[in-house]
Amino acid sequence: MAGELFTPLRLGSGAVLANRIAKAAMEENMADDGQLPGRRLIELYRRWAAGGSGLLITGNVMVHAEALTGPAGVVLDEAAPLEPFARWAQAAKSGGGAVWMQINHPGRQVAADMPGVVWAPSDIGVELGRQSSRFGRPTAMSPEQIAATVQRFALTASRAEQAGFDGVEIHAAHGYLLSQFLSPLVNKRTDAWGGPLENRARMLLETVRAVRAAVSASFTVAVKINSADFQRGGFDADDARQVIEWLAVLGVDLVELSGGSYESPAMTGRPADGRTRAREAYFLELAEDLVTSSPIPLMLTGGITRRETAEEVLAGGVSLVGMGTALAVSPDLPDRWAEGREAGRRMRPVTWKDKSLASAAAMAQVRRQLRRLARGGDPRPGVHPAVALLTEQGRQRHALRRYRTWLTARRKTAEEHR
């Protein structure tokens, strides 16, 4: 499966990616009115499309209007108009690359002040010490709610294909709902959806089956999972190896490896030793272990910023290199690499001791750069993390008021049509 950075990658669906560089999903939280993609998201993806990536994966699109990772999240369900999504897909493909929509349900990782539902496999809340109250208290899902959620994923995937996207990536990492079902620390169920790994993986596998049945054979279906949760007793590399084998049988084209959750935010960076390899490719050693047995191509995401590191990832057997923050700072980084150049700037590091606050600040820094790119400006990654976080919190409060109003109106409309 390994190849050079600028060689094509053919997937099981028949799709061919122009090169081995992907813009990994970042949670933009930039929805316009109606929780829809608007001018800002469209221009942002047009900017990335011109930068040389073979694949762009969107930030997570919500399958359930009552359950969002943030108040400015994009929602694609049965009631959403398709035209804004079609314009988004068209812009993302304007440079000749492919675009996949990442589809997601947050489960218990929902802020306490959000309206809607907070669901999880079991009624175990997010544990962040003094910060735990930031999240809602979850209720354990009923079998009927599980089945309905599986169908929501399938419907969103089908509508993404109708809108012109080339594929979907089902998000089962970073502590979101499907990842929660996989985790023995969060999933304490004693029915068919909990217990041994086969049962804990059931919701993910049922979701993949439903999605694959709802889209055409040439439409790419990828899955993002944790190589490990980085929590004692949690989902680990051996679990990931088994899940990858089950996914391969179901026609999954690619598995993206990441790691962590809100409780252990390894995906936003973690203390590492002095080696550049460890500082940049957070999950490379786990990926190199998993790639030896994986029957399908793997993508690795996590801190990659230099061509040398990207080539080392490919040399280890990984098929696709994913980058997030690096492309928020240098949206044309693939073209730079093709010309023998590197990024001209780096994001200011966040060195706060509180991991959850540091993670939130790092995400706020990235979103600040994404908004600049969406306006046609250049990134300014030197902003102080505290400034970025405070600005982001103000934007989130405004977005929350708008989301509450929208959700209330939508519920009223739904009641009137019953």
Span 40-51, pLDDT tens digits: 999 999 999 999
Under 8 Å between Cβ of 172 and 107 = no
Judge whether 87 lies within some domain: yes
Q: Determine contact, residues 350/383, Cβ cutoff 8 Å.
A: no
- 292: helix, strand or coil: coil
Q: Quick check: 37 and 59 in contact, CB under 8 A?
A: no
Domain count, the chain: 1
Answer yes or no: is 116 within a domain. yes
The answer to whether position 68 is within a domain reads yes
Kindly state the tokens that stand for 108: 């218990």
* Residue 359 is assigned to a structural domain of this protein: yes
Q: Which residues of 271-288 are buried (b: 16+ CB within 10 A; e: fewer)?
A: eeeeeeeebbbbbbebbb
Per-chain mean pLDDT for the chain = 90
In a domain? residue 329: yes
- Report the distance separating Cα 17 and Cα 95, nearest Å: 13
Mapping DSSP onto H, E and C, the string for 215-262 reads CCCCCEEEEEEEEECCCCCCCCHHHHHHHHHHHHHCCCCEEEEEECCC
Whether 2 is in a domain gets the answer: no
Q: What is residue 415's predicted lDDT score, i.e. its pLDDT?
A: 85
Q: What angle do CA 357, 57, 366 make, to 5 degrees?
A: 30
DSSP code for 111: B
pLDDT for res 231 = 59
Q: 381 in a domain, yes or no?
A: yes
With respect to residue 3, please indicate whether it lies within any of the assigned structural domains. no
The pLDDT value recorded for residue 279 is 40
Which CATH number belongs to the domain containing residue 135 in this structure?
A: 3.20.20.70
- What's the CA gap between 351 and 342, in Å, rounded? 24
For residue 169, what are the domain limits?
9-416
Strand 21-23 vs strand 9-10: parallel, antiparallel, or unpaired? unpaired
Render pLDDT for 352-401 as a digit per residue (tens, 0 to 9): 988 778 888 999 999 999 999 999 999 998 999 999 999 999 999 999 99
Query: pLDDT tens digit string along 72-129?
Result: 999 999 999 999 999 999 999 999 999 999 999 999 999 999 999 999 999 999 887 7
Give the closest residue to 271 by CA, choosing from 296, 294, 303: 303
Distance CA 66, CA 115 (A): 7
- Give the pLDDT of residue 318: 93
Those residues of the chain that have pLDDT short of 70 are 1-3, 228-233, 259-283
Q: Is 23 helix (H, G, I), strand (E, B) or coil?
A: strand
Closest CA to 171 of 255, 219, 104: 104
Percent share of the chain, pLDDT over 90 = 76
